[in-house]
Amino acid sequence: MPKLKKKPKVGKKQADHWFSLIIRSKGKCENCGSQYNLQCAHIVSRRYLNLRWDIRNAIPLCASCHVYFTYRPLEWEIWVNKKIGEEKHTQLKQEALRIRVGKIMYRELVESLKETYKNL
C-alpha cells in the first residue's frame, strides 16, 4: 500500500518567510537607503519568541548594513536608540523578557502574516 503524503509542517520557517517579506516590502535599507539585498533585521534578537514576528521589532537593512551591525552590537544599540528612541527600545527589551505562556499556533500565525502581506 502506498504511503500517504503528509501536509508540510507549518512552523517557524514559514512564519519567518512571510514576516521577512512584510518587513522587506518597505523597499529600502533603513540605514543607508539601498534597495538591494534587503534583509529583515530584528531590533531585539529573534530568539525572543514574544517579539520574533512583531512588526515593531524589525526593520529592513541591506545585507551590508545587517552584517555591519551584527558584529558591532554597541553601534547597533546606539543606532536603534536614535532610530526609534530609547523609551521604545527599552519597552521592546522588557517585552522580550516576559515569560511566554502557551503554545505558538503556527498555522494561524502564518495565515495572519500572509494576510498582512497581501494587504500591503
Q: Given the C-alpha cell 527600545, which residue does it identify? A: 89
Q: What is the tens place of the pLDDT at every residue in 91-116?
A: 999 999 999 888 999 999 999 999 99
Whether residue 12 lies inside any domain: the answer is no
**Separation of CA 79 from chain center:** 17
Whether residue 55 lies inside any domain: the answer is yes
Whether residue 6 lies inside any domain: the answer is no
Q: Whole-prediction pTM value?
A: 0.89
How far is Cα 99 from Cα 27, in angstroms, rounded to an integer? 34
Domain of 30, in residue numbers: 18-101
Number of domains in the chain: 1
